[in-house]
Amino acid sequence: MQASDRFNINSQLEHLQAKYVGTGHADLNRFEWAVNIQRDSYASYIGHYPMLAYFAVAENESIGREHYNFMQKMLLPCGLPPEREDD
C-alpha cells in the first residue's frame, strides 16, 4: 500500500465521519457510541411502517402510541451520561 492510498482512505473516512454522525471518530467513547446505535435503531423503527406495526402488535399498543414511545426513548436511549473525570 502506498502513502497516497493511505491518504486517500483517511480523507474518505474523515469525509464520512463529517457527513454521518453514526460513523464515529477516534474520540468517541462507549456511551456516545451506544447512544448513536440506539437512536439509529429507533429512527429506523419509526421510519419503516411494517416494523412499527410489528412492535405495536407485539406490545398490544396502537401504532401511534408505539411511535410516541420510540420518540420518547430517543431522548435518553441509554440513560444519563456517566460522570466525566477531568484530570
Tell me the per-residue pLDDT of 60-74, one tens digit each, with 9 for 90 and over: 999 999 999 999 999
Q: Can you tell me the distance from the alpha carbon of 36 to that of 28, in angstroms, rounded to the nearest whole number?
A: 10
User: Tens of pLDDT along 15-68?
Assistant: 877 787 666 777 788 888 889 889 999 999 999 999 999 999 999 999 999 999
Give the pLDDT of residue 64: 97
Give the pLDDT of residue 53: 97
Helices (H), the chain: 3-19, 30-47, 49-58, 63-73
Grid coordinates belonging to 11: 480523507
By CB atoms closer than 10 A (0-12, 13-18, 19+), residue 9 is exposed
Quick check: 87 pLDDT over 80?
no
